[in-house]
A and B are shown apart, each in its own frame.
Chain A
């Protein structure tokens, strides 16, 4: 359930709590990492927080306070790293900190303890450069460590070693994003097809769709057992289709040698999927779309929708800390960006999905979150927040030219939120 609370609406109880908090003795010296417009490098600030956790320090995420600032102990190694990375730090004495806590207590803000650096895995082919994927670009730039996994590692159960898994533009229906329509002769496509087929055979599967569905099922189990998954671009939609279509032929003959099941729509098991329901599959092998989950349909003439802007919801920091963490940003309205899957049709959303960002008045949303089993998932549509029209062959984004990117901040919020200590819900 979504709670939208505007800043400044505090109950008398919260005001009393604030006074009580203000009276609690605070630790000695701290540094505040402001995340509003005063910050010199927003993206590197996440790396600073992550490295502090990695070094065994504890911090706090001050939700809705100055753009979602971080509070850390004043340690020389952190100051050094901040200076190297151009991250703005503000020394905070005890009196000032007490004032900050009082302000947090009385407003739509909260301080969430961050305790442990999450173990991060990124699902990507072994030889893919980090510049192929907005998340690896961001992790690399921010200096956040991660491990790459692909089908073999997922198949042998390695996901249990990680807290957080990222997926980007993999097509879990096994149709290689239907790029065969246009790129069947391109060397990179031929190589991609051969690589996937070889992996399928190595793992005992006859076709790429069979392999990818099995991988998707492992990922579903990962979330069910308590993992966090963050997917972008085409991975969002195709993961859902692969999970719901586990026993259905949803791949065209290019993928598995047989045409798609004409009655596939009626056979999909949507109760198994995370976010979507009753989506309609694109049955034509010559239409570059997977289903009607994507609202923008960027590769389909006659269906493509223009890019607009999306707005982040403001949540109650104290009652919805997870949703609040995921939308911490110094901007609330962000320019949209295309991807193989750009957005998510409202019609196909399950009731339990929390909308984190939407384009006002449009029949689609941009950013979603939800729980599944013991874990949770987050979907962000689009390929690269700083390359809105991204096309195959475009040069990679150089994040040192976009250190304040509000879109990339959304990605990094996701990286950090598994570090948050779970607090008992107040509702």
Chain B
């Protein structure tokens, strides 16, 4: 529509300059000026001169639509169709006009008339089926296509419409089969196919896959299948469909497209594999750098390091581009010395600001090693002026200096889970120094979850006012680490031993969930009931009620 408006304006501007000479030119000019009544008169004049003037008929259709006079077009269309009974554009305008007049019987009659005039054309079936589908009459649209198939002996030429109609009817395998044929000659339809097939329920997907992946191989259909796997939450299965494609331009395009989709879906490690496969074909450092970043985002620090290390031998821009990834990977792995050396090696090629920022990354490497003194020393050496960077607040927390940590961390605007947990703790206590708490957070930063759980539990004994908060932190960590027995013990202890604490409702809910996971549904329901009855004002009550309904199978479970 926007393009049409711009075109009208351009044409009108040119005509103004050259003085509109024909009725059609004048009509365009008037339409562009929103003078639809005058434009319609001019378009009609153009049609009187030349009844088969299609642009004039389309212009008149637009103008009448603006005035709500669409049905006035019908008589003119009848005249034009007498001269050109098989003209697809005229026939399509006629169907559209009858549709907007809500005259379904006349629309059907017009379709039948078109068929009689052009028995060998696919267009009547296509256009009429499209309109029925747009109006939500899927089964009627399907009947039209079946009639076409009977008339022509196959559905060739109507695959797109068949695909859309059958998807709307929930006939997923038939839709996939039609999409496979449709995309074979029109790759631009892939996105439409993905959008159309993605809602297929799990039970229908196997047949849908078979239809898309039938032999002979259609690369477009395979790309659709891969994208659907991604949509349905099986990114690895999606990549498996594409990895064996021949390394030609079609294969490369498929890998890059899939990598982009996987990144959008945050399926980082699959995106990494797709990019590395494309890198092997092209040797593009940019692709490898992206793959390293994806590996890091996916938590595979070793792969991130391996990819970035391969690029770091490059003396050009690629090595510098990949340096932050490499340093973060080294820091995450606790290889602080290597990180420091790599940073020093690049010092002459990066700005002071960049150096200071990357030095903070290296400091995290020392933290990861548990060497807080070296981390602090590294920051001093780097002459970092940004003292409000979170790393300083975290260092204070790890050292047990809650007072400094409170001052520095509360000014942060991030909402990472670790920071939220730290801020919750700092807000609940006025204690200024708590080395045991610092050790617990440090263990967490070092990725030693088991030790962090122990430290949080032990530190709970040291500060009574945040005892339950620290126990809840330990329990959450144990749950996240799949140590269900340990988590359950802590939650149970919290719920039974501290029923008046702010953490008690959460403890009850988590306890119930743990029981549910262990297959003890009755016990889980009893716990949820206790939560609802004992804490009627808790913000967790709606969630507890919902989980109780699910446990009782009173509402359908959603995937």
Binding site for B on A (CB under 8 A): 80, 83-86, 129, 131, 140-141, 143, 181-183, 185-186, 286, 288, 299-304, 389, 391-393, 395-396, 398-400
Whether B140 contacts A400 by the Cβ 8 Å rule is: no
Whether B532 contacts A182 by the Cβ 8 Å rule is: no
- In the assembly, what is the distance between CA of A288 and CA of B555, in Å? 32
Verify if B556 is at the interface (C-beta below 8 Å from A): yes
15 additional contacts (CB under 8 A) given A86-B545, A185-B174 = A84-B533, A129-B556, A131-B556, A141-B555, A182-B143, A183-B139, A183-B171, A185-B171, A299-B137, A300-B140, A301-B132, A391-B170, A399-B555, A400-B545, A400-B549
Contacts of A395 in B (CB 8 A): 556, 558
Contacts of A302 in B (CB 8 A): 104-105, 107-108
B204 CB to closest chain A CB, in angstroms? 9
Contacts of B532 in A (CB 8 A): 83-84
B11 CB to closest chain A CB, in angstroms? 38
Could you list 23 A-B pairs, sorted by A, with CB under 8 Å?
A83-B533, A84-B532, A84-B533, A84-B548, A85-B545, A86-B545, A129-B556, A143-B552, A181-B143, A182-B138, A185-B174, A186-B170, A299-B137, A299-B139, A301-B104, A301-B132, A302-B105, A303-B104, A392-B170, A393-B170, A393-B201, A395-B556, A398-B555
- How many B residues face the partner with a CB closer than 8 A? 33
Verify if B464 is at the interface (C-beta below 8 Å from A): no
Nearest B residue (CB) for A399? B555
Whether A400 contacts B555 by the Cβ 8 Å rule is: yes
Verify if B529 is at the interface (C-beta below 8 Å from A): yes
Nearest A residue (CB) for B169? A182
Verify if B35 is at the interface (C-beta below 8 Å from A): no
Nearest B residue (CB) for A85? B545
- In the assembly, what is the distance between CA of A400 and CA of B545, in Å? 9
Verify if B127 is at the interface (C-beta below 8 Å from A): no
The list of the 10 closest CB pairs from A to B, nearest first, reads A302-B104, A182-B139, A393-B170, A396-B556, A301-B137, A301-B140, A131-B556, A400-B555, A140-B554, A398-B555
Verify if B536 is at the interface (C-beta below 8 Å from A): yes
Whether A80 contacts B533 by the Cβ 8 Å rule is: yes
Whether A400 contacts B137 by the Cβ 8 Å rule is: no
* Chain B CB within 10 Å, residue with most, of A181, A186, A395: A186
Verify if B461 is at the interface (C-beta below 8 Å from A): no
Contacts of B553 in A (CB 8 A): 140
Q: Can you list, as one digit per residue, whether each of B452-490 has a CB less than 8 Å from chain A (1) or not (0)?
A: 000000000000000000000000000000000000000
Nearest A residue (CB) for B131? A301
Q: Can you list, as one digit per residue, whether each of B210-238 has a CB less than 8 Å from chain A (1) or not (0)?
A: 00000000000000000000000000000
Contacts of A86 in B (CB 8 A): 541, 545
- In the assembly, what is the distance between CA of A288 and CA of B174, in Å? 22
Contacts of B558 in A (CB 8 A): 395, 398
Contacts of A129 in B (CB 8 A): 556
* Chain B CB within 10 Å, residue with most, of A86, A182, A393: A182
Whether A143 contacts B554 by the Cβ 8 Å rule is: yes
B357 CB to closest chain A CB, in angstroms? 47
- In the assembly, what is the distance between CA of A181 and CA of B536, in Å? 53
Verify if B248 is at the interface (C-beta below 8 Å from A): no
Verify if B347 is at the interface (C-beta below 8 Å from A): no
- In the assembly, what is the distance between CA of A395 and CA of B140, in Å? 23
- In the assembly, what is the distance between CA of A303 and CA of B104, in Å? 8
Contacts of A85 in B (CB 8 A): 545
* B143 CB contact (under 8 Å) in A80, A286, A389, A399: A286
- In the assembly, what is the distance between CA of A132 and CA of B211, in Å? 28
B319 CB to closest chain A CB, in angstroms? 51
Verify if B264 is at the interface (C-beta below 8 Å from A): no
A392 CB to closest chain B CB, in angstroms? 6
Whether A141 contacts B554 by the Cβ 8 Å rule is: yes
- In the assembly, what is the distance between CA of A183 and CA of B132, in Å? 17
* B536 CB contact (under 8 Å) in A83, A288, A300: A83
Whether A141 contacts B549 by the Cβ 8 Å rule is: yes
B281 CB to closest chain A CB, in angstroms? 41
- In the assembly, what is the distance between CA of A182 and CA of B139, in Å? 5
Verify if B294 is at the interface (C-beta below 8 Å from A): no
Verify if B385 is at the interface (C-beta below 8 Å from A): no
Verify if B414 is at the interface (C-beta below 8 Å from A): no
Whether B135 contacts A182 by the Cβ 8 Å rule is: no
Contacts of A143 in B (CB 8 A): 552, 554
Nearest A residue (CB) for B132? A301
Contacts of B136 in A (CB 8 A): 389
- In the assembly, what is the distance between CA of A143 and CA of B551, in Å? 13
- In the assembly, what is the distance between CA of A185 and CA of B169, in Å? 12
Whether B546 contacts A400 by the Cβ 8 Å rule is: yes
Q: Can you list, as one digit per residue, whether each of B89-105 has a CB less than 8 Å from chain A (1) or not (0)?
A: 00000000000000011
Nearest B residue (CB) for A396? B556
- In the assembly, what is the distance between CA of A86 and CA of B536, in Å? 9
Question: B155-211: which have CB < 8 Å to A?
Answer: 169-171, 174, 201
Contacts of B170 in A (CB 8 A): 186, 391-393
Contacts of B529 in A (CB 8 A): 84
Contacts of A399 in B (CB 8 A): 555
B62 CB to closest chain A CB, in angstroms? 26
Contacts of A396 in B (CB 8 A): 556
Contacts of B169 in A (CB 8 A): 182-183, 186, 392
Whether B139 contacts A288 by the Cβ 8 Å rule is: yes
Contacts of A83 in B (CB 8 A): 532-533, 536
Verify if B142 is at the interface (C-beta below 8 Å from A): yes
- In the assembly, what is the distance between CA of A389 and CA of B138, in Å? 13
B198 CB to closest chain A CB, in angstroms? 13
Contacts of A391 in B (CB 8 A): 170
B106 CB to closest chain A CB, in angstroms? 10
Nearest B residue (CB) for A41? B545
Contacts of A183 in B (CB 8 A): 139, 169, 171
- In the assembly, what is the distance between CA of A141 and CA of B132, in Å? 37
- In the assembly, what is the distance between CA of A301 and CA of B552, in Å? 42
Contacts of A393 in B (CB 8 A): 170, 201
Whether B201 contacts A301 by the Cβ 8 Å rule is: no
- Known A84-B529, A131-B556; contact A182-B142, beta-carbon cutoff 8 A: yes
Whether A186 contacts B171 by the Cβ 8 Å rule is: yes
Contacts of A186 in B (CB 8 A): 169-171
A127 CB to closest chain B CB, in angstroms? 14
Contacts of B143 in A (CB 8 A): 181-182, 286
- In the assembly, what is the distance between CA of A395 and CA of B554, in Å? 15
Question: B502-536: which have CB < 8 Å to A?
Answer: 529, 532-533, 536
Contacts of B107 in A (CB 8 A): 302
A78 CB to closest chain B CB, in angstroms? 13
Nearest A residue (CB) for B102? A302
- In the assembly, what is the distance between CA of A393 and CA of B201, in Å? 8
Contacts of B139 in A (CB 8 A): 181-183, 288, 299
- In the assembly, what is the distance between CA of A348 and CA of B527, in Å? 55
Contacts of A131 in B (CB 8 A): 556
- In the assembly, what is the distance between CA of A140 and CA of B132, in Å? 37
- In the assembly, what is the distance between CA of A37 and CA of B311, in Å? 66
Contacts of A300 in B (CB 8 A): 140
